[in-house]
Amino acid sequence: MSIFYKAGGDFDKAIEELVRQRGGAENSFLFQEMMITALKLIDEQAERGDLKVINTALKELRYAFKVFSPYRHIFKVSVFGSARSSRTSAEYKMASLFAKTIVKKNWMVITGAASGVMEAANAGAGKGNSFGINIRLPHEQEANPFIREDKKLINLKYFFTRKLIFIRESHAIALFPGGFGTHDEGFESLTLVQTGKAQPLPIVMVDDPKRPYWKEWLKFVRKCLCNSHYISEEDMDLFKITTDINKAVEEITRFYSNYHSSRYVGDLFVIRALRVSSEMVDGLNGKFQDVLKPKGRFEAVKAFPEEAYEGKDMDLPRIAFPFNRKSYGRIRQIIDYINRF
């Protein structure tokens, strides 16, 4: 049963007319569905607590999207790490240098806006190149001084809206040593990419060469997750660990050296690239048959009519194939292969 409804009778006409008057004709059906959903909450006599969650989440997402909208054309990396790291710690210095280095590649930086690693990344990137997504906590977490007065600082109540914004607005993830929160953000990023619920993106973990952190974490992942078959071997390619800032930046920027973006069109997985050659397509058909549905093939194609609503990137060459919708670790390997061209 669909979760979307008609409001019924005069309500449908009133909503349709209201959307038209406000200038929302292009996406009218989406505006109408949101308004109908609100009306259904009245019909169902939703509890006040439920209404407050829905109301706050919608307002937080609307405002965050408004802040990010003018910068959607710029690559951004979300930087995660401990709020407790001191300014003299190795991870603080590395996070600052990482941000400073990737900004020189015309990227912007998103952090959780707090102290420690987050402060270091905002400091390294500078206000003009920084976003902060602060979370309101019982002890009133204050934004760090490098993002505090910036118009690109967003204060949110809910962790789930905060994490959604981190992933949705990022083209890459950089993880520095941290606690439960860092692991939560790291594992959520990995889970969303592994299951295809987020766009493929590079995930890099930066280690202190003198005090391994992610390398120790890797031992647990290899032994308890991969060797126990809770994840697949190719899932280990969804992330990279390095102690070298330049290599971390290279891992992120190289991901987009030829790969542009991807989406589904019907049953086809479509990869947009800057360059597509017959040699590339032949190589894909030779190396990645295991990700295809029976009798499927990789093919070079032009933009599909279903992509026209996006209004951009229609001239980019594409590779389309009937994907089995489960081997997303192999999708990362496919992107790495495409980037060699």
pLDDT in tens, 94-150: 999 999 999 999 999 999 999 999 999 999 999 899 999 999 887 767 899 999 999
Torsions phi, psi of 171, nearest 5? -110, -5
User: What is the distance, to the nearest Å, from the Cα of residue 94 to the centroid of all Cα atoms in its chain?
Assistant: 23
220 DSSP 8-state letter: H
Max Cα-Cα span within the chain: 69
The CA distances from residue 8 to 12, 14, 39, 40, in Å, are: 6, 10, 11, 11
More confident position, 15 or 291 = 291
pLDDT in tens, 137-183: 877 678 999 999 999 999 999 999 999 999 999 999 999 999 999 99
- pTM (2 decimals)? 0.93
